[in-house]
Amino acid sequence: MRLATVRTPDGTRAARVEGARLVELAAPDVRAVLEAGGADAVAATGIVHDVADAVLAPVVPQPEKVLCLGLNYREHILEMGRELPDHPTIFTKTARALIGARDDIWMPPESAEVDWEAELGLVIGRTVRRATAAEARVAIAGFTVVNDVSMRDWQMRTTQWIAGKTWEHATPVGPWLVTPEEVDHARDLRITCDVDGRRVQDARTADMLVDPVEVVRYCSTFVTLVPGDVLLTGSPAGAGFGRTPPEYLAVGATVRTAIEGIGELVNRCVADPTA
C-alpha cells in the first residue's frame, strides 16, 4: 500500500495511491491515518486526484519528531574524512524544513555550500519505547524518499550539526509512504541522486552500517517514537562536500532523488523568497 498527503484548496488530505490516482481519505494527512490505526480504519471520501497533477505535501507535514542518522554508509564516512563510528550519529530537523516531492528547495543567501544527500526515510506507525528488534520492525509503517539538503558551511562551524541541517523549506520528503512488504523492508534498494541530469550518487541501501530496524530500536531507547515520526537513515557516497574540489547546489539547479520501488523527488533550487 502507498499513502500520500496531498494539498487541496481546503487544506491537506491523506490519500491512498491507486496506480495513477490518489483516492482521498477522511483524514488530514498520513500522520492522522497512522494515528487512527492505518488506512483500513479510515474511510475514503470519494474524491480522486490525478497523481501527475496533484500537489503533494511532505508525506508527513507535521511530525512530532524528525530524527536523522549521519555517517551511516561506509563510503560516505570515508569521503567525509571520518572513522567508522562506534554508535549511530543522531541529529534532528524541525517540521519547517520539510517540503513536498515537487516543491522548490529554498536556497538561503547565508550559505554558499548547499549540498545534496539522497536518503531512505522511514515513518513510524505505532508507539514504541525501548523496542526489541521484533517490535522495531513492526513499528515501521513504511518507507519514503528524502533529500537531506545540508548547508555545509553552517554544519561544520561546530561539532553539533543541527545549524546546517534544518534550514526552512529545504528537505523534500515523499512522494509517498510505501509499506514495508512492497519493498522487502528496504533491505537492498538502489538509491540515486541526479543534479541537472548528472548522476552524483548511486548506491544500495544494503550498504548501510545500521539498518532501518536497528535505527528504530536504537532511537526508541532514548525517546518514545510515535505514529508519524520521520527517521532518516543516512546518505551514501557522492555528496558534494566530499568531492575534489567540493561541488554545491546553485540557484536554478534541479535535484532528482530516487529510490527503487518507492519513487522519486524532483526539486528545483530557488532563491529563498523570504530573505
Residue 42 contacts residue 26 (beta carbons within 8 Å): yes
Residue carrying C-alpha cell 470519494: 46
CA-closest candidate to residue 143, choices 127, 158, 122: 122
Residue 112 pLDDT exceeds 80: yes
Residue 177 contacts residue 2 (beta carbons within 8 Å): yes
Structure confidence at residue 79 as a pLDDT band (50, 70, 90)? confident
- Which tens digit of pLDDT belongs to each residue from 5-29? 999 999 999 999 999 999 999 999 9
Residue carrying C-alpha cell 557516497: 237
* 136 to 119, 125, 161, 180, 187: CA distances (angstroms): 20, 10, 26, 12, 15
DSSP string, 162-208: GGGT--TT-EEEEEEEE-GGGGGGGSS-EEEEEETTEEEEEEEGGGB
Structure confidence at residue 250 as a pLDDT band (50, 70, 90)? very high
pLDDT at residue 99, as a whole number: 98
Residue 176 pLDDT exceeds 80: yes
Q: Which domains does the chain have, with CATH numbers?
A: 2-56 (2.30.30.370), 66-271 (3.90.850.10)
Residue 81 pLDDT exceeds 80: no
d(CA 83, CA 70) in angstroms, rounded, equals 12
Please give the model's pTM, rounded to 2 decimal places: 0.97
Burial level of 211, CB count in 10 A (0-12/13-18/19+)? middle
* 97 to 39, 86, 121: CA distances (angstroms): 26, 29, 15
Q: Dig out the grid coordinates for 81 from the structure.
A: 574524512
Task: With H, G, I as helix, E, B as strand and everything else as coil, classify residue 30.
Answer: helix
Structure confidence at residue 78 as a pLDDT band (50, 70, 90)? confident
Structure confidence at residue 80 as a pLDDT band (50, 70, 90)? confident
Residues 6+ apart with CB under 8 A from 16: 1, 2, 3, 4, 22, 23, 25, 39, 44
pLDDT at residue 85, as a whole number: 80
Helix (H) or strand (E) holding 83: none
* Least reliable range by pLDDT among 73-82, 182-191, 249-258: 73-82
Helices (H), the chain: 30-35, 74-79, 133-139, 152-155, 212-222
Residues 6+ apart with CB under 8 A from 9: none
Burial level of 46, CB count in 10 A (0-12/13-18/19+)? exposed
